[in-house]
Amino acid sequence: MDEILLKIEDLFIEYQTELETVRAVNGVSLEVKSGRTLGIVGETGAGKTTTCLSILRLLPDRTGRVTGGNICFRDKNIYSLSEEEMRTQICGEKISMIFQDPMTSLNPVMTVGSQIYEALKYHNHENKTREELERRVDEVLELVGIPAERKTEYPHQFSGGMKQRVVIAIALACEPELLIADEPTTALDVTVQAQVLAMMRDLQKKVGSAILLITHDLGVVAQMCDDALVMYAGEIVESGSIEDIFTPGSHHPYTMGLFGAIPDLDSAVDRLTPIEGLMPDPTKLPDGCYFADRCPYAEELCKQIHPTRTSLSGTHTILCHRFSEGLKEVSHE
Amino acid sequence: MDRTNEKRRGKLKEFWRRLRKNKSAIIGLILLCLIVFCALFAGVICNEDDAYRQDAHNRLQAPSSEHWFGTDMYGRDVFTRVMFGSRISLSIGISAALLSLLTGGTLGAVTAFYGGKVDDIIMRIMDMLMSIPATLMALCIVAALGGSAVNLFIAMSLSSLPEFCRLSRSAMLPIVGSDYVEAARAYGSRNGRIIFKEIMPNALGPIIVQTTQSVASKILTASSLSFLGMGVQAPQPEWGTMLSEARQYMRENPYLVLIPGLFIIITALSFNLFGDGLRDALDPKLKD
Amino acid sequence: MNEARILIEVKDLCKYFDVKGGRKLHAVDRVNLTIPAGKTLGVVGESGCGKSTLGRTMLRLLEPTSGQILFEGKDITKARKSEMRQLRSKMQIIFQDPYSSINPHMTVSDIIMQPMIVNRLFHSREEMVARVKKLMDTVGLADRLYNAYPHELDGGRRQRIGVARALALNPEFIVCDEPVSALDVSIQAQILNLLMDLQDQMGLAYMFITHDLSVVKHISDEIAVLYLGQCIERCGATELFRNPLHPYTKMLLAAIPVPNLSARTRELQVIHGEVTNPIDPPPGCRFAARCPYCRPECKEKDLPLREVNPGHFAACTLL
């Protein structure tokens, strides 16, 4: 079952402008297994969205550039495919993407039904008839919990949560093997978020797609994902199964910082412990650990030498000097 | 007080530094300076009498060392006429654009800021004005008032009033609703201060560009109206009038149309280039 | 325990907006609130529930349709323009979006100085500059940013400018309209700590508007839950999370994804049904259309907030 669907190895991405080079992604490696959900957590500018865009080769043409590494989907290197193969075989067919803002992802002058129909028609390899496709439109809408008779309505007639459902319906119309969801519920209210998340979870059971879920909300990760990774300044600082990340024990200082910065509903804390300082400027990343400036445990070593990835258990890896060879006995809490 | 001056000087320096980096704006500025120089010192460069003195013996002479741009069908020196023509073209263009900026811009600011009925009434009047083609309207006004430089100026300002009103309204509307305007209200700013301190600087970009482009189009309209005989009257030297007079001789003596035409184009172009640069230099977000 | 002085009291406040066809959108409908000096009232609700409108109406940035707003016992809904201008210095607002809430054409110092200039707080420029520097220090902005433009700064720093601007007039009451929603979690914690420190130092009263329930619990003394313009539940912050009474509050709390694996097996609570249209809404409970416990009488007449437990108010026929 746990077949590797998407494999990213040592990915580097730069944005080049006339004046500077932004190093957005710096050596990201990850695997998405079929039928599982991988969560990517991180703050603005961590490189989450850039990583995802590069999977579908959607980086801005003129500035964004993959400078190293491979992205393989089912052992096929995405960057060795032609534009045509990419469009007809991968995008929307095997891999679909949902963006953050449902308001801008839909065409305001097309009915939602015809937008789903378009997606189906474009990937209609079995030459299904119009009736068959229309039936599939109804099916997909019902699947995301929208009555099929609403397919003749326009996006503005739907509420925010319903629009996001339509977006998901379009993404799922061709039953993709991998669904990339970039902050799918950030623009939604909590109650609506709950609906959409519950629906995505149900759909995964029915369709069996793998999901790559990008979010800044640790709560969403805890509820939705099987595996998770934490990104900071274009790097994966910690990765592992959901248990690895969420159970107390050895963690990257940044992961601990993230948990400390969110108010806890169950216990009353007088003060939050924010992570002081700011993310390093991606145009001039330091030599040492990127987090060293903000890290409460940073030592001289951290500021000079970039840490290497250390495996703590079969699934759990950390990018931090404190857990490197020889220092392994250092632990906390 | 010293510090304020220092700061203001600092801002000016900063503005100049950024303008200087924009090559096309500098080209526009240099051309503009040249034309303004011509207009200002036309009297020094050449003799005003030459613009009117007819010389039947030297009709339709090609450009030479004596007559740099040649002579026209009455034997007048074209160079002198072009120099003096720049005075009229420029002053009509600039003053008409400024007048429509002032009236249209203020009306637009008022409609955007107060909204409601004020907005409705002013904008419907503007719609009515807009439904009449600008050139046609200018033509009608000039026809009613008689052709002269002043009437031309009034006609053209009025005809582009709705344009400016609409533009400044749409540039200001999003700012009127923005949080920082709300914040200014919350700390007790008066309306006038909000309009001039918070809204204006942020809406200025598109309006500046529109103004400079409008100068260019005003010069063109003035020329075309004069060409039609509705604006500046012969024998006053004006680029459009010159074009109009010379059109019969276009085949044999193309320089007669080419030279004033070229000046019209260069002036319009330099205003456009400079306007674009000005907008970019005034926007702190585009720094570097 | 001595009762804190009541700073602001809102009585039956309504704000209706005119929409096409002479109908009215009930953005805020008969809301009653009190905020003691030096305390924080959290206002939670989903988008479109009127929480921002409520905040703005309380500062009279929007004119209330009816009802009273008592600031230190004085009804400000009837205050004239000049009186209002003086009152404004005592009540300020911090906005959600750190990008659109500060004028991009002004430097940091200019922005913080504006309220002082407008209200002629100081006679000499030196005093004003000193005050700006002190404020920048208070909110944690480095001195070197004095002449910086906002676009050179990140969201957290910009939000600090917004806080400094609100503090410039020494207010007693600040409406915080989702001040941390647009910020990253690590920055969010910095701003929340700053706001709480300022409250301790200056005795500020906050009305903290947010949709984020964990944030509101952290910062508030009392919480009011808004649904479609009406306050449906109001009580102490810990009480609300321990013992929510209104069905909507219960569902809202259950819908929060918790960053904790123990909650993983729990089904996220899903509310079904369409939200009632706020334009000329039908009588009765606004939540009736989505409420699983809805009874016929819920749709018949409006139900005011009732004190169910001491200090715990809720509006529901079930209670």
Question: What is the model's pLDDT at position C268?
Answer: 59
User: Phi/psi of residue A267, each to 5°?
Assistant: -125, 150
**Is B66 in contact with B129 (CB distance < 8 Å)?**
no
Residue C181 touches partner B, C-beta closer than 8 Å: no
Considering only CB atoms, A263 lies closest to which of C46, C215, C251, namely: C215
Query: Would you call C114 an interface residue with chain B, using a CB distance cutoff of 8 Å?
Result: yes
A275 touching C, CB under 8 A? yes
Tally A–C CB contacts below 8 A.
118
Question: Given a cut of 50, is residue B288 above it in pLDDT?
Answer: no
| Contact between residue C129 and residue B1 where contact means Cβ atoms under 8 Å apart | no
**pLDDT for res C1:** 39
Structure-model confidence comparison of residues B135 and C218, the more confident one: C218
- Is any Cβ of chain C less than 8 angstroms from the Cβ of B284? yes
**Residues A62-103: pLDDT tens digits?**
888 899 899 998 888 988 888 888 887 788 788 988 888 777
Residue B38 has pLDDT above 80, yes or no: yes
- Mean pLDDT computed over every residue of chain C: 88
Among the partner-chain residues B185, B202, B287, the one whose CB lies closest to the CB of C105 is B202
Residue C286 scores a pLDDT above 90: no
In the complex, which subunits touch B with 3 or more CB pairs below 8 angstroms?
C
The CA distance from B260 to A235, in Å, is: 64
Radius of gyration, CA atoms only, chain B: 22
- Would you say residue C221 has pLDDT above 80? yes
pLDDT digits (tens, 9 = 90+) for A178-207: 999 998 888 778 888 888 888 888 888 888
- To test the contact with chain C by mutation, choose from B2, B8, B179, B208 the residue with the greatest count of C C-beta atoms within 10 A, namely B179
Predicted confidence at residue B169, as pLDDT, reads: 92
pLDDT bracket for residue A329 (50, 70, 90): very low
Residue B9 in contact with partner chain C when CB distance is under 8 A:
no
Write the CATH number for C205.
3.40.50.300
> Under an 8 A CB cutoff, do C189 and A192 touch?
no
Domain membership flag for residue C57: yes
Poorest-confidence range of A84-88, A308-312, C133-137? A84-88
As a whole number, the mean pLDDT across chain A is 86
Checking if the pLDDT of C85 tops 50, the result is: yes
- Asked if residue C69 is part of any domain, the answer here is yes
C221 domain-assigned: yes
SS3 for B128-191 is HHHCCCHHHHHHHHHHHHCCCHHHHHHHHHHHCHHHHHHHHHHHHHHHHCCHHHHHHHHCCCCH
Contacts of B199 in chain C (CB under 8 A): none
DSSP annotation of C289 reads G
CB within 8 Å: B188 and C115: yes
- In whole angstroms, give the CA distance from residue B241 to residue B237: 7
Nearest-neighbour CA in chain C from A278: distance (Å): 8
E-strand ranges in A219-321 read 227-232, 235-241, 309-311, 317-319
DSSP bridge pairs for C225: C44, C233
Q: What is the mean pLDDT of residues B26-36?
A: 91
Most confident of A188-197, B64-73, B202-211, C121-130: C121-130
Residue B188 to residue C88, Cβ atoms within 8 A: yes
CB of C169 within 8 Å of a chain B CB? The answer is yes
Residues 6+ apart with CB under 8 A from B170: B108, B112
Measured between CA atoms, the residue of chain A closest to residue C274 is: A159
Helices (H), A106-252: 112-122, 130-143, 160-172, 190-207, 218-224, 242-246
Whether residue A109 lies within 8 A of chain C, CB to CB, comes out as no
What pLDDT is recorded for position B83?
86
Report residue C9's pLDDT band, with 50, 70 and 90 as the boundaries: very high
Flag if B180 and C102 touch (Cβ within 8 Å): yes
- Report A:190-209 residues touching C (Cβ under 8 A): 190-195, 197-198
Residue C113 pLDDT > 90, yes or no?
yes
C165 touches chain B (CB under 8 A): yes
| CA-based nearest distance A181→chain C, Å | 17
Q: If you average pLDDT over residues A264-273, what whole number do you get?
A: 75
Q: How far apart are CA A275 and CA A294, in angstroms?
A: 7
Q: What is the DSSP letter of B253?
A: -
Binding-face residues of C in 218-277 toward B, CB within 8 A: none
Contact A258 C186 (CB under 8 A): yes
**Minimal Cα distance from B3: which residue of C?**
C125
Q: Check residue A330 and give its pLDDT.
A: 45
CA distance B255 to C86: 70
Cα nearest neighbour of C107 on chain B: B284
* Residue-number span of the structural domain to which C175 is assigned: 6-90+171-247
Number of domains in chain C: 1
Which residue in chain B is spatially nearest to C153 when comparing CA positions? B285
Q: Would you kindly state where each structural domain of chain B is located, as residue ranges?
A: 20-47+69-286
**C5: pLDDT strictly greater than 90:** no
8 Å CB contact of B187 and C88: yes
Residue A288 DSSP symbol? S
* Contact assessment for residue C245 and residue C318, using Cβ atoms and an 8 Å cutoff: no
Task: Dump pLDDT digits (tens) for C52-79.
Answer: 999 999 999 999 999 999 999 889 998 8
Residue boundaries of the structural domains of chain A: 1-88+178-272, 95-175
Q: Name all chains with 3 or more CB-CB pairs below 8 Å to chain C.
A: A, B
Average confidence (pLDDT) over A272-281: 84
Residue in C27, C23, C1 with CA at minimum distance from that of residue C14: C27
Q: Residue C218 falls within a domain, yes or no?
A: yes
Of the candidates A193, A265, A278, the beta carbon closest to that of C258 is on A265
pLDDT of residue C31: 93
Q: Tell if the CB–CB gap between C118 and B189 is shorter than 8 Å.
A: yes
> Would you call B180 and C100 a contact, using CB atoms and an 8 Å cutoff?
yes
C312 assigned to some structural domain: no
Give residue-wise pLDDT tens across range A14-33. Answer: 998 777 888 999 999 999 99
CATH value of B20-47+69-286 in 1.10.3720.10, 1.20.1250.20, 1.20.58.220, 1.10.1380.10: 1.10.3720.10
Burial B43-64 (b: 16+ CB within 10 A, else e): eeebeeebbeeeeeebebbeee
pLDDT band for position B5 (cuts 50, 70, 90): low
Contact B287 C149 (CB under 8 A): yes
Instruction: State the pLDDT at residue C266.
Output: 63
- Tally Cβ neighbours within 10 Å of residue A96: 25
Range picked from A317-331, B17-31, B50-64 for highest mean pLDDT: B17-31
pLDDT of the residue at A331 = 42
CB contact under 8 A, A268 and C238: yes
* Strands annotated E in C84-229: 91-94, 173-177, 205-210, 222-227
Residue of C nearest to A215 (CA): C184
Residues B202-219 have a mean pLDDT of 83
Q: Which residues of C touch A243 (CB under 8 A)?
A: 261
Q: Tens of pLDDT along B238-280?
A: 888 888 888 888 888 888 888 888 988 898 889 888 888 888 8
Whole-number percent of chain C with pLDDT over 70: 96
A189, A216, A243: best mutation site toward chain C, by most C Cβ within 10 Å?
A189
Q: What is the pLDDT of residue A328?
A: 45
Query: With an 8 Å Cβ cutoff, are C259 and A159 in contact?
Result: no
| Distances in whole angstroms, Cα of residue C213 to Cα of each of A63, B26, C235 | 40, 55, 14
Cα–Cα separations (whole angstroms), residue A324 to A320, B26, B52, B114: 7, 58, 93, 65
Which of the 8 DSSP states describes residue A324?
S
- Separation between Cα atoms, residue A279 and residue A291, nearest integer Å: 8
Task: Please check the confidence at residue A274 and state whether its pLDDT lies above 60.
Answer: yes
Cross-chain Cβ contact B188/C168 below 8 Å:
no
C136 in a structural domain: no
- Whether residue A1 is predicted with pLDDT greater than 70 in this model: the reply is no
Q: Cis bond leading into A147, ω under 30°?
A: no
- CA-based nearest distance A224→chain C, Å: 8
**Mean pLDDT calculated for residue range C80-108:** 89
pLDDT: which is higher, B176 or C271: B176
Mean of the per-residue pLDDT values of chain B: 83
pLDDT at C173 over 90: yes
Residue C242 lies in a domain: yes
Cβ contacts from B onto C, under 8 A: 71
ipTM over 0.90: no
pLDDT at B3: 47
CB contact under 8 A, B179 and C97: yes
Q: To the nearest 10°, the Cα dihedral for C211, C212, C213, C216?
A: -90
Rounded Cα distance between C71 and C90, Å, is 10
pLDDT tens track for B165-182:
999 999 999 898 889 999
The CATH class that applies to domain A1-88+178-272 reads: alpha beta
Chain B residues closer than 8 Å to C125 by CB = 1, 3-4
Return the pLDDT at A325.
59
Mark yes or no for CB contact C268/A223 under 8 Å: yes
Above 60 in pLDDT, residue C233?
Answer: yes
C283 falls within a domain: no
What pLDDT shows up at residue B18?
Answer: 81
Contact C162 B197 (CB under 8 A): no
- C270 alpha-carbon distance from chain centroid: 26
With contact defined as beta carbons under 8 Å apart, do A150 and A116 qualify?
no
pLDDT (mean) for B182-193: 90
Proportion of chain C above pLDDT 90, given as a percent: 49
Residues C181, C208 contacting (CB under 8 angstroms)? no
